[in-house]
Structure formats: C-alpha cells, structure tokens
Amino acid sequence: MNISEISDLKSLFPIFKNTDVIFLDTAASAQKPQIVIDAQKQCYENYYANIHRGTYNIASTATSAFEETRTSIKNFINANSTEEIIFTKNATEAINLVAYSYGLENLQPKDEILVTIMEHHSNLVPWQLVAKKTGATLKVYHLNEEEDFDLDEYLQLINENTKFIALTHLANGLGLEPPVEHAIAYARANSPAKILIDGAQIISHKKIDVQKMDCDFFAFSGHKLYGPSGVGVLYGKKNILEAMPPFLAGGEMVGTVSEKDATYNHLPYKFEAGTPNIADIIAFKSAIEFVETLGFDRIAQIETPLIRKLEIELKEIQGLRILGPADAHKSLICFVIDNISPYDLATFLDNKNIAIRVGHHCAEPLIHYLGYESSARISVGCYNTEDDINIVIKNIHAAKKFFG
C-alpha cells in the first residue's frame, strides 16, 4: 500500500473504522495507524524476547529490530550517530534525565536557567527543582502584550550567567512556534548556555534537523508522532552525554560490577537502565516510516488549512476569545467562551462524539498568566478533515445556545 497515494487517511487508522469519534485532541496523543499496531503485534507474536542479552535467535531478531528504530530516529532528526539517541519512556523522562544528570551536576549559585511562561510542566518543573537544589536562578520569559513571543525581549534575558536554556519548539497551550534557531544562535554568541529544546509538540508537524538547529538536547515522545505510548527519545550531543553521569542504575547501563563499584556502559546504553519498552520501540519505527512516507509537505497541506478555517470560524462566535496572537497558530487553538465553562463545553461535545481537550493543558502558569483557570483546545492531525471542523463549529454554536 502506497500511503502517499491514499486520499482518505482516516482509512489507515482502525479507530475511525471502529468508532464514529471526531478526534480533535492529537496534541495530547495521536491515533495509531494500522501499520504501527501490526508492528507491535508482530513482535509479541513472532519474536518477542529481551534485547542485548539473549544469544538465541528471537532475542537477536528483537535486538536488531530495536536498534533499527534507533537508526531510523537518528536519520529522522539528522543526529550525528546512534550514540546520541537515548530511549526513555516519554519526553518528560528525557527532560528529567537532562535536569538530573546535567543540571544537578553542572549548575551552581549565580548561574541562570532560562525558560518561558509557555513551557509544558515537563519543561518547567524539572528546572524549578534543579534551581532549588543548586541555588541557580530560574528566569522566566513572559509574552508581550499581544500574547506573542517577542524574540528581542527574550534575547535580552540571555547573558554570560545564562548556563542553561529550556525552550519549547511549539507551545501546547498556545499553538505558538518560537523562532528557536534564532534564539539558539544568539545564545551561542552571547552565553555559555547549554540548550534543550522540547520537541514533543512540533515533531509530528515539521521536519527537524538537530545539527542545523544546533541544540545540545532535543526531547520528544513517540505517542505524539503516531507511534506507541511509553516511548520517548532524548537526543544529546555526544561529547556532552559522555561527560554526564547515569540517570538510572542497573541492567544494561553497566559495564562491569563488583561488590563495591561499577563501570558504566558506553553511549547510548549508559542511560538505558533496565528492560525497555521493547515491542513499542520496535513499532515506533513503523510510525516514523508512516510520517516519512506521507511527508511533512502533505501533512502541512492537510493541517494548515484546517487550523486557518478553524480560527476564522471561531472568530465569528460571539463571546469567544482565542488565546495567543492572531494567525500564528500551528496545529492547535486554545480558546474560552464567556459564561461557558470549558468543561461543560467538552462534555456537551463529547455527547456528540467529538473529542477535544480542556483544562490548563499542563501549562498552568501560562493559562493563569493569560487570566484564566482553564481553556478549551482543538488540535488536528493528518487524519482530520474539513468536515471535522464544520461539525465541531456547528456544535460549539449549539452549545452556546444550549447554555444560554
């Protein structure tokens, strides 16, 4: 089957055959195409075994398939080598690995950590903890009056004391994409900072080249890239990873072990303690192949008009306010409606079999900064259609009428 020639992409996702759900929560987690489900099933049915340890045939087969995924990821984001690709259980763990293994070991009082108000909790709370434990100062960039990311204002916060920068590539509470390459280039010229980019939201919408970007770390999750849950990836520059101590201990991360001491395995295994999520990591390769075959140009051709249409239609609804700057949303839009709780709206839409997300979207400081306790979020994936947008807009109007 040539995916690139299929017009009805929903036909590739079993959930849309088995339910009538209109799924508009891909920013939280994407649905899975049949080829990903089949790859996981094939592993469990035909060659499941623990990896890197067994000498028997199916163990060798599983190990080879597992490492093929690592190679696919290396090529997908253009890392220098597979040694720079570390498997975690999600992007949250990947960021925590950096916070604990690099941050706690290298940051100290008078150092500054720079984050933004837009960060997902997973790229904020770890740095709060590091700041408290090391005495470093946590600096938070806030948005401008238009609720936009002002690059000039952001860059003014970078100086010779800036030792670490953590920046989202796509804000899950705004749909806003900061100019990360410009920010990184300026930081390189004006500070000694190491730079981590949270790529969890951007990874399924845009081609990533970590060498061109020149970040030190890049974290993302498989489940947002049409892959299985329980799979995370940390890219790190090899020389930095080599200098970092292990994050977790035991299992495959050791070299030799004595009663009183141990040596550690080489990269990337130094950071991969214990039995990993074998079948799901193997299946993740099929998700990458799905996205590469479909192509980011086609993904953009599907998603961009849907978001533009959604924004135009939402602006026509009286009493509805879209969060963030106009016409700058990528793949998702958050909004509030006067006198209607986002939770009531979500329940109303759920009764119509429409799935959206409500709450603070793991970005509570951002939502509070904008003056709200929660918001509604509609996000799209490659399987969404203009009909999906028409139906959700129609039912938002119906909800307004229902709630008076």
Query: Which residues have CB under 8 Å from 129's CB, separation 6+?
Result: 99
Q: Tokens standing for 75?
A: 């090529």
Pairing of strands 85-88, 354-355: unpaired
- In sequence order, the β-bridge partners of residue 236 are 217
Q: What is the DSSP secondary-structure string of 112-162?
A: EEEEETT--GGGTHHHHHHHHHH-PEEEEEPP-TTS---HHHHHTT--TTE
**Residues 336, 171, 224: CA angle, nearest 5 degrees:** 105
List the end-to-end C-alpha distance of the chain, in Å, as a whole number: 49
d(C-alpha 295, C-alpha 26), whole Å: 18
Indicate which residues carry an active-site annotation: 362
Q: Which residues contact 386 (CB under 8 A, 6 or more apart)?
A: 305, 306, 309
Q: Tell me the helix, strand and coil percentages in the chain, rounded to 5.
A: 45, 15, 40
DSSP state of 87: E
What are phi and psi for residue 170, nearest 5 degrees? -160, 115
